[in-house]
């Protein structure tokens, strides 16, 4: 909706009038699409002040620490919903009624297996390959298996691809883990819940099927809910950008996985544990805090700070509670790494450097600790983030394709050489 207008005064040129658009909540945005006619572009590396699209899926108020999916606060979804219900909500806009939920859950369960031939892809990877490297490959490879549903202009095809991706990600993630361990891959079990099934495929073997702890399954489900979507972050924007060229959904999600891998984004939960290893002991904390504050040192306290949340990350609050439940269930109290993490948390919450910059522990700080306690190796942490975020990525991809869109094509401020002529090789200095 546009009722207000902004006026841009450019020295030596006529003023440019730009419409101001208003959303349901959140700051108004200045629509700069018409600016090109004046011979200017906007410059905003890192998208610090630029909305790249219009969306109805997720709303974040970073100053107040609010995260809403389709209007529902993340705390309520974590308490009163489960992951598949949250998936339905993100994909369809409303929470399901009982019948819709049963149908969706059954639909997802009917797609949990992957093509048998996909297993042969794994043999091409070294067993010590990073699991995210394997995930980028095997998820992208799904495009080679589902030719029956790759017409991105067909809403039914988009729907079936969405369900396939949500259903198959836990299977693929567990296969990646089993491959790295040299253990047989486990088939999904449709009598289990989504989270139980994932833990079953991760930790059971054909010779020993152990029951899944309800506390750990609930913690896993919460981790999935809390990572399900986070509006236009780096990986989601990557999925939208890849999708805007008309690429198929499996290829787009593989692109999202690649973007998520970096330590400033999804790789942070792994980086938290690597950092705790590096710090080693509580007695070294002061040295590392000093490094984190030193502008000339690239070291950052992993798991602290957020681009959008400049107050507490609401997901971190829920995750901390789950973290306490998991540690109590597993009877972990005196783990030195955990003590180190708790001491870091204490310092960051009281040290003026962190307070002034609003560098609170983020969701990855606690999820890393929980995943480690459950027995998931650190190299798998980002894979689990990717598994959970797939529904967010695919919801944004579907949303973009459901209304008119343009290929994403940012402009640039060029600061390179002006046009010049080639000097013959023999004459070059
Ligand atoms: N440790 C120490 N100092 C920090 C940290 C940190 N983790 N994060 C930011 N700062 C400082 C930064 O040096 C800067 O200081 P100054 O104002 O004196 O120059 C100030 O805080 C503002 O930081 P910024 O780099 O401008 O903030 P940003 O919004 O560009 O970066 C971030 C956000 C998440 C990339 C960054 O905080 C970071 O690298 N954190 C560690 C990695 C991490 O935990 N990432 C996971 C984010 S949550 C998962 C997700 O949603 O993807």
Residues 202 and 313 in one domain: no
Number of domains into which the chain is organized: 3
Is 277 part of the annotated catalytic residue set? no
Instruction: Using alpha carbons, select from 397, 341, 337, 343 the residue that is nearest to residue 364.
Output: 341
Any domain includes 426: no
State in Å: Cα 220 to ligand 1 middle: 26
Any domain includes 194: yes
What CATH number did the domain enclosing 385 receive?
A: 1.10.580.10
Q: Which of 69, 227, 306, 396 is catalytic?
A: 306
- State the first-to-last Cα distance of the chain, in angstroms, to the nearest integer: 59
Residues 121 and 241 in one domain: yes
Any domain includes 147: yes
* Residue 297 · residue 291 · CB < 8 Å: yes
CA distance 131 to 117: 19
Radius of gyration of the chain (CA): 23
Confidence of residue 331 (pLDDT cuts 50, 70, 90): confident
344 CB near ligand 1 (under 6 Å): no
Confidence of residue 308 (pLDDT cuts 50, 70, 90): confident
The ligand 1 atom at the shortest distance from the C-alpha of residue 265 is: 52
305 CB near ligand 1 (under 6 Å): yes
Residues 47 and 85 in one domain: no
Q: What are the tens digits of pLDDT across the range 226-261?
A: 999 999 999 999 999 999 999 999 999 999 999 999
Residues 121 and 222 in one domain: yes
* Residue 286 · residue 280 · CB < 8 Å: no
Residues 82 and 197 in one domain: yes
Any domain includes 210: yes
Q: What's phi and psi for 18, nearest 5 deg?
A: -125, 135
Any domain includes 315: yes
Is 69 part of the annotated catalytic residue set? no
228 CB near ligand 1 (under 6 Å): no
Residues 296 and 392 in one domain: no
How far is the CA of 16 from the CAs of 31, 44, 51, 231, in angstroms? 12, 19, 20, 30
The residue with greater pLDDT, 154 or 339, is 154
Residues 223 and 351 in one domain: no
What CATH number did the domain enclosing 34 receive?
A: 2.20.28.60
Asked whether residue 200 carries a pLDDT value surpassing 90, the answer given is: yes
pLDDT at residue 312 in the model:
80
Any domain includes 64: no
Residues 97 and 240 in one domain: yes
Residues 142 and 86 in one domain: yes
CA distance 341 to 334: 12
CA distance 88 to 225: 12
Residues 47 and 134 in one domain: no
Residues 253 and 336 in one domain: no
Residues 296 and 190 in one domain: no
Q: What are the tens digits of pLDDT across the range 12-24?
A: 888 999 999 999 9
Average pLDDT over residues 56-85: 96
Confidence of residue 149 (pLDDT cuts 50, 70, 90): confident
Any domain includes 202: yes
pLDDT at residue 323 in the model:
87
Instruction: Using alpha carbons, select from 215, 216, 260 the residue that is nearest to residue 376.
Output: 216
What CATH number did the domain enclosing 310 receive?
A: 1.10.230.10
pLDDT at residue 2 in the model:
58
Q: Residue 17 sits in which domain range? A: 5-51
pLDDT at residue 380 in the model:
95
CA dihedral for 40, 41, 44, 50, sign (positive or negative): positive
Asked whether residue 1 carries a pLDDT value surpassing 70, the answer given is: no
Nearest CA residue ID for atom 39, ligand 1? 264
State in Å: Cα 303 to ligand 1 middle: 9
Any domain includes 205: yes
């Amino acid at each position: 909706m546009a009722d207000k207008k902004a006026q841009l005064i450019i020295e030596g040129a006529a003023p440019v009038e730009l419409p101001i658009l208003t959303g349901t909540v959140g700051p108004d945005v200045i629509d700069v699409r018409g600016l090109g006619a004046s011979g200017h572009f906007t410059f905003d590396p890192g998208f610090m002040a630029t909305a790249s699209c219009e969306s109805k899926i997720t709303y974040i108020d970073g100053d107040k620490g609010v995260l809403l999916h389709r209007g529902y606060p993340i705390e309520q979804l974590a308490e009163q919903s489960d992951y598949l219900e949250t998936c339905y909500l993100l994909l369809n806009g409303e929470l399901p009624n009982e019948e819709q939920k049963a149908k969706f859950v059954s639909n997802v369960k009917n797609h949990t297996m992957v093509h048998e031939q996909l297993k042969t892809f794994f043999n091409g990877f070294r067993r010590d390959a990073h699991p995210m490297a394997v995930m980028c490959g095997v998820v992208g490879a799904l495009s080679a298996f589902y030719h029956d549903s790759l017409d991105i202009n067909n809403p039914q095809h988009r729907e079936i691809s969405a369900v396939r991706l949500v259903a198959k990600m836990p299977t693929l993630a567990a296969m990646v883990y089993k491959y790295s361990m040299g253990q047989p891959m486990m088939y999904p079990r449709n009598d289990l819940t989504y989270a139980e099934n994932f833990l079953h495929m991760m930790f059971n073997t054909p010779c020993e099927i152990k029951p899944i702890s309800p506390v750990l399954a609930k913690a896993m489900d919460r981790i999935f809910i809390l990572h399900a979507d986070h509006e236009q972050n780096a990986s989601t924007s990557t999925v939208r950008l890849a999708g805007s060229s008309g690429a198929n959904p499996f290829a787009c999600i593989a692109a999202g996985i690649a973007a998520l891998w970096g330590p400033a984004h999804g790789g942070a939960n792994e980086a938290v544990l690597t950092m705790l290893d590096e710090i080693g002991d509580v007695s070294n904390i002061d040295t590392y805090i000093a490094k984190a504050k030193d502008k000339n040192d690239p070291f950052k306290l992993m798991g602290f700070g957020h681009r959008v949340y400049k107050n507490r990350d609401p997901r971190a609050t829920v995750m901390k509670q789950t973290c306490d439940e998991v540690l109590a269930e597993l009877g972990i109290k005196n783990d030195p790494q955990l003590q180190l993490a708790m001491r870091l948390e204490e310092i960051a919450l009281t040290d003026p450097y962190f307070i002034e910059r609003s560098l609170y522990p983020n969701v990855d700080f606690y999820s890393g600790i929980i995943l480690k306690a459950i027995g998931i190796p650190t190299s798998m942490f980002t894979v689990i983030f990717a598994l959970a975020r797939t529904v967010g990525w695919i919801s944004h991809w579907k949303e973009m394709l459901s209304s008119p869109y343009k290929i994403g094509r940012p402009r640039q401020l060029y600061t390179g050489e002006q046009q010049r002529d080639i000097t013959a090789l023999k004459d070059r200095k």
